[in-house]
Each structure stands twice: as C-alpha cells, then as structure tokens.
Amino acid sequence: MNNVRFTKMSDSQSYAIVKSQHPLVGGVAGHNFIAVLTPEGNVIHELNGLATSRTGEIKPIGYLPSDKLYIYDEVDVGKFFYNSSQNQEIIFSGSYREVMDKFQIGKYLIPLFNSKNFSYPFIGLGDNSNSAASTLLKGMGLPDPDLGNAITPGEGAY
C-alpha cells in the first residue's frame, strides 16, 4: 500500500476515476474502492468503505457485532490501497477539474453514508466495503463494472 502523496495538478491533461479491486485471500476475494489517477497513472485520491471498531479504529475486516461500515478518504486512512497491478476499470475521465468535480460528489456522500451507522457483516459476508463502493458510484452517476472473478460480497448493493 502506498503512502499519501500531494501533487499540484494541471487542468490540461486527462485524469481518471477508476474502480479498483484490492485482492484478498490470494485474489480469491476482493475489496472494491474508488481512486483518482493522474495522467501518469499515479493515485492522488481514494474513497474506501472500511470496517470500523466501536472505538473508531479501522479494521482489516469486521467480525464483532459492534463493528460498523464507514467510508473514508486517503487522508483519514493515511495511505492508499491502489496499485496499478490491481483489477480496475476507468469509469470517468476528463480534465482535472471535471474529474475532481465528479469526485467531490463522492466526498459529499461520505457523511450521509456514515450517519446511517451501518453494521459491518461478520467477516464481510453481506453488505460491506464493496456495497459502499457501489453506493458511491451510483450517487456519483458512474457505472459500477464487475472487475473479474474475485468473490466480492455486497457488490452492486446500494
């Protein structure tokens, strides 16, 4: 996982929003999330649905009845999950401003989603981080493509 980087952006090149899939259990399962990439393919922003303990600690997977599903950006998480080798698909591209305007819709949805205090299902079997990604994409008016053969419980649920 990459460390958070901040870069000055040009508005004249093509930036992209991708749906990407972090492999889990040796690639048998996947964690879907949204990333913004520069024209060079470097990640600059992410939105991730993650299991969260009752004390606010981000967890790799939820398993306690008290665990919640919350959406975070890369600043809250302190790192990026994106890697160029992951299964991914470009779902929107344009100038920096166009991409960031679309991405800001997703950022706007975070407190609305998090205020629902959704329970995180036991070991992710149900509406989980993949549901959070699908919900954000729907709210942003973007497609939610299937990224391959990995097991992704909750994908497509809103």
Q: What is the pLDDT of residue 5?
A: 41
What lies within 8 Å, CB to CB, of 8 at 6+ separation is none
What lies within 8 Å, CB to CB, of 91 at 6+ separation is 17, 18, 19, 137, 142, 143, 144, 145
Stretch (H or E) spanning 22: strand 15-24
Which pTM value belongs to this model? 0.89
Q: What is the pLDDT of residue 150?
A: 87
Q: What is the pLDDT of residue 7?
A: 45
Q: What is the mean pLDDT of each run of 10 residues along the chain (158 residues)?
A: 46 89 90 98 98 96 96 97 97 98 98 97 90 97 93 82
Q: What is the pLDDT of residue 98?
A: 98
Cβ 103 vs Cβ 110: under 8 Å: no
How many Å apart are CA 133 and CA 127, to the nearest integer? 11
> What are the beta bridge partners of residue 45?
36
Q: What is the pLDDT of residue 26?
A: 84
Cβ 4 vs Cβ 75: under 8 Å: yes
Stretch (H or E) spanning 138: helix 129-139
Q: What is the pLDDT of residue 12?
A: 63
CB-based burial of residue 53 (10 Å sphere; 0-12 exposed, 13-18 middle, 19+ buried)? Answer: middle
Q: What is the pLDDT of residue 6?
A: 39
Cβ 106 vs Cβ 100: under 8 Å: no
Q: Where do the structural domains in the chain lie, given as residue ranges? A: 15-140
Q: What is the pLDDT of residue 35?
A: 99
Among the listed residues 48, 38, 33, 35, the one whose alpha carbon sits nearest the alpha carbon of residue 7? 38
Among the listed residues 37, 30, 127, the one whose alpha carbon sits nearest the alpha carbon of residue 87? 30
